Amino acid sequence: MKGKRLLIWVGTAVTALVAAMGISFIGDEFAGKNAPFVSERNATLIARGAYLAKLGDCAACHSIPGRPPFSGGLSMGTPIGAIYSTNITPDAADGIGRFTFADFDKALRYGVADGHTLYPAMPFTSYYNTKPEDVQALYAYFNYAVEPARVPNRASDIPFPLSMRWPLTYWRWLFGSKPVPFKAPAGFDTAQVQGAYFVDGLGHCGECHTPRNAFMQLTAVNRADGPQYLTGAIIESYFAPSLRSDGAGSLRDWSEDELAQFLRTGANSSGIAFGSMSDVIIHSTQYLSEADARSTAHYLKSLDSQDRNGQSFAYDPSSDKALKRGDANSEGALVYLDNCAACHRPDGRGYERVFPALAGNPVVEARSPESVVSIIFRGSTTPRTPQTPAQFTMPGFDWRLSDIQVMQVANFVRSNWGNRGPQVTLDDVARLRTKSH
């Protein structure tokens, strides 16, 4: 009796669906252990919250130009439609003014708000480790120091039924980090502890710098969680490089001082920030206290390298000598001379904190060609901080260079002066030319 069998199948499917949704609903409602909030307009607490909000870079998603701070509205593309960041000002109607401390904590560390799981664009998978006193500071800041703004949240562009949220609960259960407060890993010195707390947590460096798996979950959320932690990942049309010290394309040759300087000013003798990292420097890490910047650098430099036998970069002067001799026969040499050498120089050393060196530059040597090729196409402007008020712009060359020329010059810079970056293919270049528009 086909009809009855069909009915049984449909009935079972519907029941399973309803059960799944119900379980998700219950799971979201009861997520999070309630913690009490000490409700005071404590200036020290608020100031600490302001600092932590900068470190967490809440503004990156929740503040957009032309709108009141933290009122949301940033459009973030997904394969199924754009989603929009929410209003986290203390407005009672449109913002989080009605959030209790428990609600706030749940959103921040568990990724649950308004009865549903948040899209992991909200990096609760990193914020999970925030200490209770710091969550209190952030709550105090957002309640007492941010101006309430009547800006309603914008619904996502995702069409029904894909807009249903309940599958996210399962994602969170499978892939979200266990929201336990930060505990200092054994064997860490004080600076490492401080650095790890920031990098693994509010700094959420891994959200860009750690590779993801098939369901877009991070392959590792901290050092203990797996060897892929901070080994580099593709973000938009750039490659966020490895933050470990494991060979070509990593931070192996950056000292702690240089790393700290980079975080606070966007530039050091080895390179200058670009792409999304520029925004991070400008809105977030430039505000790191000197101590926090140092401990961050210390922690990153202490990460075990996968390739302890990897050599340090060794500068090779023969490329420079060849160019100065008038020998431009190697692939891409002439393109380099005609377009790049004016600023980056025949010796590939650029000018410190003006035009980044290409020789020994982790971005140039990275295993993925995304950044190098995207920058050749679109150029880049250095970030502006109080210590670096002058901004330098590399122009884009997409109008001037063919795909073949871009491939040639990318290979030139990746293989000269001692650089050992892998070859770029014509397919890579063609793909990135369209991606950059």
Partner 1 sequence: MTTPRRLKPADAVIIGYGWTGAILAKTLTDAGLHVVALERGPARDTSPDFEYPRIADELRYGIRGELWQPLASETVTVRHTLNDTAVPYRKYGSFVLGNGVGGAGVHWNGMLWRASPEDLRFRSHIEQRYGKHFIPAEMTIQDYPVSYEELEPHFDHFENVCGVSGVAGNLRGTLRPVGNPFEGPRSNEFPTPPLPAIYAAQLFEKASAELGYRSFPIPSANSSVAFTNPYGVRLGPCNLCGYCERFGCFLYSKASPQTAILPILAERPNLEVRTSAYVIRILQDSSKKRATGVVYIDENGQELEQPADLVVLSAFQMHNVRLLLLSAIGTPYDPSTGNGVVGKNYAYQMCGGTAAFFGDDVPINPFIGAGAAGLRVIDEFNSDHYDHSKVGFIGGAMIYAGGTGGRPIEQMLLPPTVPQWGRGWKAAVRKHYRHSAPVTLQGTVMSYKDRYLSLDPTYKDKYGIPLLRITFDWHDNEYRMAAYTASKMEEIVRQMKPESQATLLMKPGNHYDVRIYQSTHTTGGAIIGTNPENSVINRYSQSWHLPNLFIYGASAFPQNIGYNPTGLLAALAYFSADKLKSSYLKSPGPLVSS
Instruction: Quote the CA–CA distance of 98 and 95 in Å, as a whole number.
Output: 8
Q: How far is the CB of 169 from partner 1 (least distance, A)?
A: 44
Q: How far is the CB of 291 from partner 1 (least distance, A)?
A: 23
- Compute the residue count for the chain: 437
| Contacts (Cβ under 8 Å, ≥6 apart) of 302 | 192, 195
Token duo for residue 197: 């707390």
Pairing relationship of beta strands 112-113 and 116-117 according to DSSP bridges:
antiparallel
Task: Output DSSP code: residue 269.
Answer: S
Q: Phi/psi zone of residue 40: left (φ > 0), alpha (ψ -120 to 50 degrees), beta?
A: beta
Q: How far is the CB of 278 from partner 1 (least distance, A)?
A: 14
Phi, psi of 381 (to 5 degrees): -120, 135
Q: Phi/psi zone of residue 15: left (φ > 0), alpha (ψ -120 to 50 degrees), beta?
A: alpha
* Cβ closest to partner 1, residue 186 vs residue 390: 390
Residues of this chain that interact with partner 1 (CB under 8 A) are 338-339, 342-343, 351-355, 381, 384, 386-393, 395, 400
Give 379-382 contacts, CB < 8 A, sequence gap 24+: 380/274, 380/275, 380/278, 381/278, 382/266, 382/267, 382/272, 382/273, 382/274, 382/278
* Cβ closest to partner 1, residue 35 vs residue 343: 343
| Contacts (Cβ under 8 Å, ≥6 apart) of 50 | 141, 145
* Cβ closest to partner 1, residue 309 vs residue 393: 393
Q: How far is the CB of 113 from partner 1 (least distance, A)?
A: 34
* Cβ closest to partner 1, residue 183 vs residue 400: 400
Q: How far is the CB of 69 from partner 1 (least distance, A)?
A: 16
Q: How far is the CB of 343 from partner 1 (least distance, A)?
A: 7
* Cβ closest to partner 1, residue 94 vs residue 352: 352
* Cβ closest to partner 1, residue 172 vs residue 349: 349
